[in-house]
Amino acid sequence: QSLLTQPPSVSGAPGQRVTISCTGSSSNFGAGFEVHWYQQLPGTAPKLLIFDTNSRPSGVPDRFSGSKSGTSASLAITGLQAEDEADYYCQSYDSSLNGYVFGAGTKVTVL
Protein backbone atom coordinates (compact mmCIF):
# COMPACT_ATOMS: atom_id res chain seq x y z
CA GLN A 1 0.00 0.00 0.00
CA SER A 2 1.44 3.34 -1.09
CA LEU A 3 2.07 6.15 1.36
CA LEU A 4 0.48 8.47 -1.19
CA THR A 5 -3.20 7.72 -1.87
CA GLN A 6 -4.75 8.44 -5.26
CA PRO A 7 -8.18 7.49 -6.63
CA PRO A 8 -7.90 4.57 -9.08
CA SER A 9 -9.79 6.41 -11.80
CA VAL A 10 -11.45 9.67 -12.79
CA SER A 11 -13.34 10.51 -15.94
CA GLY A 12 -14.77 13.50 -17.73
CA ALA A 13 -16.18 14.67 -21.02
CA PRO A 14 -14.06 16.63 -23.48
CA GLY A 15 -13.72 20.22 -22.35
CA GLN A 16 -14.51 19.48 -18.72
CA ARG A 17 -12.27 19.97 -15.68
CA VAL A 18 -11.11 16.97 -13.67
CA THR A 19 -9.01 16.81 -10.53
CA ILE A 20 -6.84 14.03 -9.13
CA SER A 21 -6.17 13.99 -5.41
CA CYS A 22 -3.02 12.71 -3.74
CA THR A 23 -3.25 12.29 0.02
CA GLY A 24 -0.04 12.03 1.99
CA SER A 25 0.98 12.26 5.64
CA SER A 26 3.15 14.05 8.16
CA SER A 27 6.27 12.25 6.87
CA ASN A 28 5.98 13.55 3.30
CA PHE A 29 3.76 16.53 2.42
CA GLY A 30 3.26 17.42 6.06
CA ALA A 31 7.04 17.53 6.56
CA GLY A 32 7.29 20.10 3.78
CA PHE A 33 8.40 17.86 0.95
CA GLU A 34 7.18 18.82 -2.48
CA VAL A 35 4.80 16.96 -4.77
CA HIS A 36 5.55 16.16 -8.40
CA TRP A 37 3.26 14.69 -11.06
CA TYR A 38 3.88 12.41 -14.04
CA GLN A 39 1.78 11.45 -17.03
CA GLN A 40 2.17 7.98 -18.51
CA LEU A 41 0.54 7.43 -21.88
CA PRO A 42 -0.18 3.79 -22.81
CA GLY A 43 2.98 1.87 -23.65
CA THR A 44 5.34 4.75 -22.92
CA ALA A 45 7.67 5.87 -20.13
CA PRO A 46 6.41 8.35 -17.53
CA LYS A 47 6.82 12.01 -18.40
CA LEU A 48 7.22 14.84 -15.91
CA LEU A 49 4.08 16.97 -15.87
CA ILE A 50 4.37 19.18 -12.76
CA PHE A 51 7.30 19.69 -10.38
CA ASP A 52 7.47 21.47 -7.03
CA THR A 53 3.68 21.45 -6.60
CA ASN A 54 2.74 23.84 -9.41
CA SER A 55 5.62 24.38 -11.85
CA ARG A 56 5.30 23.14 -15.42
CA PRO A 57 8.27 22.03 -17.53
CA SER A 58 8.64 23.63 -20.91
CA GLY A 59 6.14 22.19 -23.36
CA VAL A 60 3.49 21.16 -20.85
CA PRO A 61 0.20 22.97 -21.59
CA ASP A 62 -1.15 25.34 -18.97
CA ARG A 63 -4.30 23.21 -18.86
CA PHE A 64 -2.37 21.22 -16.26
CA SER A 65 -1.96 22.77 -12.79
CA GLY A 66 -1.11 21.59 -9.33
CA SER A 67 -1.69 22.57 -5.74
CA LYS A 68 -0.87 21.39 -2.23
CA SER A 69 -2.25 22.13 1.20
CA GLY A 70 -1.26 20.42 4.40
CA THR A 71 -1.00 16.69 3.75
CA SER A 72 -2.94 16.72 0.47
CA ALA A 73 -2.12 17.65 -3.10
CA SER A 74 -4.06 17.71 -6.32
CA LEU A 75 -3.61 17.89 -10.08
CA ALA A 76 -6.21 19.65 -12.19
CA ILE A 77 -6.76 19.23 -15.89
CA THR A 78 -8.96 21.88 -17.49
CA GLY A 79 -10.36 21.69 -21.01
CA LEU A 80 -9.98 17.90 -21.01
CA GLN A 81 -8.84 16.48 -24.35
CA ALA A 82 -8.80 12.95 -25.76
CA GLU A 83 -5.00 13.00 -25.71
CA ASP A 84 -5.08 13.43 -21.92
CA GLU A 85 -6.27 9.85 -21.50
CA ALA A 86 -3.41 8.33 -19.50
CA ASP A 87 -2.24 7.23 -16.06
CA TYR A 88 -1.16 9.99 -13.67
CA TYR A 89 1.17 9.51 -10.70
CA CYS A 90 2.06 11.79 -7.80
CA GLN A 91 5.52 11.53 -6.19
CA SER A 92 7.28 12.93 -3.15
CA TYR A 93 10.00 12.16 -0.61
CA ASP A 94 9.16 10.39 2.64
CA SER A 95 11.25 10.87 5.77
CA SER A 96 10.00 7.67 7.42
CA LEU A 97 11.21 5.62 4.44
CA ASN A 98 14.24 7.78 3.70
CA GLY A 99 13.30 7.44 0.07
CA TYR A 100 10.98 8.46 -2.70
CA VAL A 101 7.34 7.43 -2.84
CA PHE A 102 4.79 7.30 -5.64
CA GLY A 103 1.03 7.20 -5.52
CA ALA A 104 -0.57 4.07 -7.00
CA GLY A 105 -1.69 6.03 -10.05
CA THR A 106 -4.97 7.37 -11.40
CA LYS A 107 -6.35 6.42 -14.78
CA VAL A 108 -8.01 9.34 -16.55
CA THR A 109 -10.71 8.40 -19.06
CA VAL A 110 -12.13 10.89 -21.53
CA LEU A 111 -15.77 10.01 -22.13
Partner 1 sequence: EVHLLEAGGGLVQAGGSLRLSCVTSGFTFGRNGMSWVRQPPGGGLEWVSSISNIGDKTYYADSVKGRFTVSRDNSKSTLYLQMDSLKGEDTALYYCAREPTVRWENWFDPWGQGTMVSVSS
Q: Using CB under 8 A as the criterion, which residues of the chain lie in contact with partner 1 when the complex forms?
A: 2, 33-34, 36, 38, 45-48, 51-52, 57, 89, 91, 93, 97-105
Burial of 13 (0-12, 13-18, 19+ CB in 10 A): exposed
Q: Which is nearer to partner 1, 12 or 51 (CB)?
A: 51
The 72-77 sheet, strands edge to edge: 18-23, 72-77, 64-69
Nearer to partner 1, 37 or 77 (CB): 37
User: How far apart are CB 90 and partner 1 at their closest, in Å?
Assistant: 10
- For 59-66, the CB contacts below 8 A with 24+ separation are 64/37, 66/35, 66/37
Rounded to a whole number of angstroms, the minimum distance from the CB of residue 86 to partner 1 is 13
Shortest spacing between CB 13 and partner 1, in angstroms = 26
What is residue 84's three-state secondary structure? helix
Nearer to partner 1, 18 or 50 (CB): 50
